[in-house]
Amino acid sequence: MKSARAAGTPILRPGGSRLLNTLRANLLHWKRHPFSALIRLACFLSTCITVFALLDVVADILIKGLPNLKPSLFSLTYTTDNQSLLPSLINTFIITALSLIVAVPLGVGGAIYLSEYAKRNSLLVRAVRLTAETLAGIPSIIYGLFGMMFFVISLNMGLSILAGALTLSLMVLPVILRTTEEALLSVPDGYREGSYSLGAGKLRTVWRIVLPPASPGILAGVVLSIGRIVGETAALLFTAGTLARLPSSLLSSGRTLSVHMYVLAGEGLHIGEAYATAAVLLVFVMLMNGLSGLISRRIIKE
Amino acid sequence: MSKIEIKNLDLYYDDLQALKNVNMSIAANRITAFIGPSGCGKSTLIKTLNRMNDLIPGCHITGSVTLDGEDIYGKDLDVNLLRKRVGMVFQKPNPFPMTIYDNIAYGPRTHGVHRKAMLDEIVEKSLQDAAIWGELKDRLLKSALGLSGGQQQRLCIARALAVQPEVLLMDEPTSALDPISTAKIEELALQLKEHYTLVMVTHNMQQALRVSDTTAFFLLGEVVEYSDTEKLFSMPVDKRTEDYITGRFG
Ligand SMILES: Nc1ncnc2c1ncn2[C@@H]1O[C@H](COP(=O)(O)OP(=O)(O)OP(=O)(O)O)[C@@H](O)[C@H]1O
Ligand SMILES: [Mg+2]
């Protein structure tokens, strides 16, 4: 090492500032490896563009939305005068919760069956996997049409929060199923073997050994689903309707924040309020992400 | 006295026959070593002793294996109880992603021990028996994944001991470890045989010679020779055994 360096000119001059020294070292490295320098530059630029685009969207929404946040936007009843978003916010909570209550147990349970009980890579497992993958890629409007035909009309639920939530739970079910299955499969088999070899049964092994290390991955799937539910409009227009009131029951129509924004922006009369709604939606999503990050870090620590 | 009796055992993975007419009796409080080239069925046989093969779809056996005279493939046998009696240590250390304490306590908790004082006692005793208490006693509540490979393997031994097994199966327990950790585990095995029956798969003939009392040499799913370790290594009866132990094989 020493002799090799002594032969060339020293790159780092003891007197120079640290920044200059780094720059000098980098320049020398780039001169020797121009291609590697190019790749590095390209990657750096990609990062810049991604971050910039994201910041731009967030800044745009906050700048145009925050000044339009008025107390009247949070009144309990929506009128054409106040354009209140509070009923929609509450509907968003209800629809998200309902969809998850249906989709999470089904999706997680199904994934546990596929990865822990069914024969690995059996025909059934592969068929379900393929189906789930296909379903996850279908545009949401098709779920909306299906939901309208099935829940709204056939099951006679009418345009209702219940029909909307059930439709959305169908929409996110494949997402939860697949992410959970991936999370379970990434748990090393050594853990399972260790557990069985100590005399633990299937249930205990799945519950105490496989699920804990998989839970951050499962949670990531749930967060992804929440994002899709909160951002959904097309599937809800046909199933939950656009009534901007607090629901009196699960069978009454109700709009979520995204639908609310869609309607406001579509009418073209209340762009300011639409931006304010967008700001609230943004904060909502960021809070969800932060919360789930916190939870998964807690889980990992345990 | 023989602890495990294997009679006319054939084992198939779907159509592939991995074990052919194995007959063997494994003595209590002795270390029995399985040696032989890769793919000859050592792991397969050791896994039939605690029925870990049940987990492999398409694996079926004929013949019988008895533990203290009881058929372990019998209809009334509780597999979980069998695995409590016949513990296992794997080639790759596989501590659970939880604290050292919880790793050891997992087995006893599985079998219904929940009193804190009792668990504390079991954890300390098991770690002491695995000769790792001194190293770990101050970090019991730290994650087991932060340990070195050798420590992890001794933790796994302690974990297996915590359910008070009668037999301890070890499938190449030192093949992923450095020489110092290997020496510690060999020494440990020699101490453990006082209370347990040990069966150990190894690729290292020196190791078999150093620690085991009896050795079985496997070839293509068959037991070619099974006798006292010293005898097998000094005066092998079968030509193939001789070729293998003198390194003239294949
Ligand atoms: N799960 C399995 N499914 C199908 N065949 C298997 C399975 N496990 C092992 N075999 C086959 O059974 C034979 C014996 O394998 P086994 O793992 O018992 O060998 P081994 O002696 O332990 O070898 P090594 O020293 O490499 O660990 C091999 O031919 C192997 O390919
Ligand atoms: Mg093996």
Dump pLDDT digits (tens) for B67-101: 999 999 988 899 999 999 999 999 999 999 999 99
Q: How confident is the model at residue A26 (pLDDT cuts 50, 70, 90)?
A: confident
Nearest-by-Cβ selection for A199 from B81, B97, B98: B81
> Which residue of chain B comes nearest to A117, CA vs CA?
B55
With an 8 Å Cβ cutoff, the interface of chain A facing chain B consists of: 119-120, 188, 190-201, 204, 208-209, 212-213, 302
Look-up of token digits 């967008």: A278
Distances (CA, A) of B40 to A13, A118, B219: 63, 29, 5
| Nearest-neighbour CA in chain B from A100: distance (Å) | 28
Position B238 in a domain: yes
Measured in angstroms, the CA of A206 and the nearest CA of chain B are apart by: 13
B43 lines ligand 1 (CB under 6 A): yes
Tokens at A89, concatenated:
């916010």
- The distance of B107 to chain A (nearest Cα, Å) reads 6
Mutate to test the pocket of ligand 1, among B35, B38, B44, B171 (most ligand atoms within 8 A of CB): B44
CA atoms of A105 and A90, how far apart (whole Å): 23
Least confident of A14-28, A174-188, B59-73, B109-123: A14-28
Q: Which ligand is nearest to the CA of B54?
A: 1
Q: Is the dihedral of CA B101, B103, B106, B108 positive or negative?
A: negative
Gap between the Cα atoms of B229 and A201, Å rounded: 37
The atom number, within ligand 1, closest to the CA of B16 reads 5
Which atom of ligand 1 is nearest to B40's Cα? 21
Q: What SS3 class is residue B213?
A: coil
Q: Does the C-beta of B44 come closer than 6 Å to ligand 1?
A: yes
Best interface-test mutation with A: which of B47, B72, B96, B145 has the largest number of A CBs within 10 A? B96
pTM beyond 0.90: no
Give the alpha-carbon dihedral of B200, B206, B210, B213, to 10 degrees. 50
Q: Do A199 and B111 touch (CB under 8 A)?
A: yes
Ligand index nearest the alpha carbon of residue B17: 1
Asked if pLDDT for residue A7 goes beyond 60, the answer is no
Q: How sure is the predictor about A10, in pLDDT bands with cuts at 50, 70 and 90?
A: low
* The dihedral formed by the CA atoms of A57, A61, A62 and A67, expressed in degrees to the nearest 10: 160
**Number of other CB atoms surrounding residue A79 within 10 Å:** 10
Which pLDDT belongs to residue A237?
A: 92
B209: CA distance to ligand 1 center in Å?
24
Backbone angles phi, psi at A279, to 5 degrees: -60, -45
Contact B90 A190 (CB under 8 A): yes
Q: Tell me the shortest Cα–Cα distance from B249 to chain A, in angstroms.
A: 32
The better pLDDT of the pair A79, A132 is held by: A132
CB A213 to CB B97 under 8 A?
yes
Q: Secondary structure of chain A: what % helix, strand, coil (to 5)? A: 75, 0, 25
B83 contacts A212? CB cut-off 8 A: no
CATH code of the domain occupying A69-301: 1.10.3720.10
B250 part of a folded domain = no
Q: How would you class B93 by CB atoms within 10 Å of its CB: exposed for 0-12, middle for 13-18, buried for 19 or more?
A: buried
CATH of the domain at B174: 3.40.50.300
Domain that holds residue B15: 2-245
For residue B49, the CA-to-ligand 2 centroid distance in Å is 14
From A20-29, A62-71, B168-177, the region with the lowest mean pLDDT: A20-29
Which of A119, A191, A208 is nearest residue B94 as measured by Cβ atoms?
A191
Ligand 1 within 6 A of CB of B151? no
Q: Is the dihedral of CA B15, B16, B18, B23 positive or negative?
A: positive
Angle between helices A271-301 and A257-267 (to 10 degrees): 160
Q: Give the total number of structural domains in chain B.
A: 1
Q: From its phi and psi, is residue B228 left (phi > 0), alpha (psi between -120 and 50) or beta?
A: beta
Q: Is the pLDDT of residue B8 over 70?
A: yes
Distance (Å) of CA A278 to CA A60, A74, A161, A232, B111: 10, 14, 21, 13, 54
| pLDDT over 80 (residue A157) | yes
What is chain B's mean pLDDT, rounded?
92
* Pocket of ligand 1 contains residue B40 by CB under 6 Å: yes
| CA-based nearest residue to B10, from B47, B61, B50 | B61
Contact A209 B96 (CB under 8 A): yes
**Minimal Cα–Cα distance from A115 to chain B, Å?**
13
pLDDT band at A16 (very low <50, low <70, confident <90, very high): low
Write out the two tokens for A74.
């949070």
Which residues lie closer than 8 Å to A136 by C-beta, 6 or more apart?
A: A174, A175, A178
Question: Does the CA dihedral A33-A38-A39-A43 come out positive or negative?
Answer: positive
CB contact under 8 A, A194 and B97: no
Residue B137 located in a structural domain: yes
For residue B28, tell me if it sits in a domain: yes
Within its chain, how far is the Cα of A185 from the centroid? 21
**Domain contains B239:** yes
Contacts of A17 (CB under 8 A, 6+ apart): none
Query: What residues of chain B lie within 8 A of the CB of A196, using their CB?
Result: 52, 55, 83
CB contact under 8 A, A213 and B55: no
Q: How far apart are CA A64 and CA A93, in angstroms?
A: 24
- A120/B57 touch (CB, cutoff 8 Å), yes or no: yes
Q: What is the percent of chain B where pLDDT is above 70? A: 98
What pLDDT does residue A241 have? 86
Separation between Cα atoms, residue A259 and residue A236, nearest integer Å:
8
Q: Is B238's pLDDT higher than 80? A: yes
**What is the Cβ-side half-sphere exposure of residue A89, based on CA atoms within 13 angstroms?**
20
CB–CB contacts below 8 A, A to B? 63
Q: How far is the CA of A44 from the centre of ligand 1 (A)?
A: 48
Residue ranges with strand state E in chain B:
2-13, 16-27, 31-35, 59-67, 70-71, 86-89, 167-171, 197-201, 214-219, 222-228
More confident residue, A81 or A116: A116
Q: Going by C-beta distance under 8 Å and a sequence separation of 6 or more, which residues neighbour residue B124?
A: B133, B137
**Would the CB atoms of B81 and A119 count as touching at under 8 Å?**
no
Tell me, what's the ipTM?
A: 0.93
The predicted model gives A237-259 an average pLDDT of: 87
What does the pLDDT look like over B27-77, one tens digit per residue?
999 999 999 999 999 999 999 999 999 989 889 999 999 999 999 998 889
Residue B244 neighbours by CB under 8 Å, 6+ apart: B35, B36, B37, B217, B219
